[in-house]
């Protein structure tokens, strides 16, 4: 009986030692894994700027300069100290950025996807560009021939003008020719690059009809020299184009 108890105690002690060894190994592995993760989180990382469209205002160097305005050198080197929401919010404040997405790619590459704001037309009086969403932003000298718009500055006017030019751009001929746009009291007046006459477009009612009449008149003028003496064309009349030798606009 005593011998059996002796062997039993010895066996239990051996199992107990095995359990202690097992939990010790698990503990050491956990500590090591945590340390590795912490060290990976603190390593230096790369920044990869991706532009989602063609750019004329932004570049990698400009984006990096923007980042340094909110992140000091230490923060730029440590992964675990970065707040991606802060970076996105700050970059979105830049007038030339339409959208931005910041995220980690793998564990050591900070990827920044940026879509640059594309100018649709120029507000000549205010010296602003306006994009297809009606958002205005500062002008810079670029090699891009854009329609020049004259109008009282207001959000309502910007919305109406933007819709008008977007619809005009649906026609390749008009998009290529549209030079100047005047907007006042919900009435449009335009001029083209290759033709020496002003066009009273009026409001946007019967829009497609007016565009087609204008294209026909332009094509006809190319073969009829007599029409070159008419500096004013009115598209407001149904099923006809009224050409005038006077630049007096109808109220």
Is 157 within a domain? yes
Q: Out of 116, 149, 166, pick the residue that ends a domain.
A: 116
Give the residue with greater pLDDT, 68 vs 172: 172
Q: What is the pLDDT of residues 57-84, one digit of tens each?
A: 999 999 988 888 876 654 555 666 677 8
Is 20 within a domain? no
Q: Out of 94, 116, 138, pick the residue that ends a domain.
A: 116
Q: Out of 116, 132, 154, pick the residue that ends a domain.
A: 116
Is 99 within a domain? yes
Domain of residue 182, CATH code: 3.40.50.11690
Q: Which domain holds residue 58?
A: 46-116
Question: Is there a single domain that holds both residue 139 and residue 224?
Answer: yes
SS (H, E, C) the chain: CHHHHHHHHHHHHHHHHHHHHHHHHHHHHHHHHHHHHHHHHCCCCEEEEEECCCCCCCCHHHHHHHHHCCCCHHHHHCHHHCCHHHHHHHHHCCCCEEEEEEEEECCCEEEEEEEECCCCEEECCCCEEECCCCCEEECCCCCCCCCEEEECCCHHHHHHHHHHHHHHCCCHHHHHHEEEEEEECCEEEEEECCCCCEEEEECCCCHHHHHHHHHHHHHHHHHCHHHHHCCEEECCCCCCCEEECCCCCCC
Please indicate, yes or no, whether the overall pTM of this predicted structure exceeds 0.85. no
Question: Is there a single domain that holds both residue 178 and residue 214?
Answer: yes
Question: Which of the four pLDDT bands, split at 50, 70 and 90, describes residue 251?
Answer: very low
**Beta strand pairing status for 187-192 and 109-116?**
unpaired
User: What's the pLDDT at 37?
Assistant: 52
What domain count does the chain have? Answer: 2
Q: What's the whole-number average pLDDT of the chain? A: 82
Is 54 within a domain? yes
User: What's the pLDDT at 81?
Assistant: 63
Is 21 within a domain? no
Q: What is the pLDDT of residues 144-166, one digit of tens each?
A: 889 999 998 888 899 999 999 99
Question: Which of the four pLDDT bands, split at 50, 70 and 90, describes residue 99?
Answer: very high
Question: Is there a single domain that holds both residue 146 and residue 230?
Answer: yes
Is 28 within a domain? no
Question: Which of the four pLDDT bands, split at 50, 70 and 90, describes residue 3?
Answer: very low
Domain of residue 95, CATH code: 3.10.20.310
């Amino acid at each position: 009986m005593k011998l059996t108890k002796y062997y039993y105690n010895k066996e239990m002690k051996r199992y107990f030692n095995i359990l202690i060894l097992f939990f010790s190994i698990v503990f050491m592995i956990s500590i090591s894994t945590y340390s590795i993760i912490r060290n990976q989180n603190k390593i230096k990382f790369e920044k990869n700027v991706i532009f989602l469209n063609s750019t004329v205002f932004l570049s990698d160097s400009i984006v990096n300069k923007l980042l340094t305005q909110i992140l000091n050198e230490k923060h730029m080197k440590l992964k675990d100290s970065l707040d991606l929401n802060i970076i996105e919010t700050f970059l979105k404040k830049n007038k030339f950025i339409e959208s931005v997405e910041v995220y980690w790619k793998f564990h050591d590459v900070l990827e920044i996807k940026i879509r640059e704001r594309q100018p649709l037309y120029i507000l000549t009086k205010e010296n602003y560009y306006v994009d297809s969403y009606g958002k205005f932003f500062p002008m810079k000298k670029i090699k891009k021939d854009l329609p020049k718009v004259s109008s009282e500055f207001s959000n309502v006017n910007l919305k109406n003008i933007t819709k008008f030019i977007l619809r005009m751009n649906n026609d390749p001929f008009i998009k290529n020719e549209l030079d100047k746009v005047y907007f006042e009291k919900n009435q449009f007046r335009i001029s083209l690059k290759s033709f020496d006459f002003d066009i009273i477009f009026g409001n946007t009612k019967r829009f497609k009809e007016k565009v087609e009449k204008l294209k026909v008149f332009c094509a006809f003028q190319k073969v009829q020299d007599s029409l070159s003496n008419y500096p004013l064309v009115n598209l407001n009349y149904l099923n006809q184009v009224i050409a005038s030798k006077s630049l007096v606009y109808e109220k």
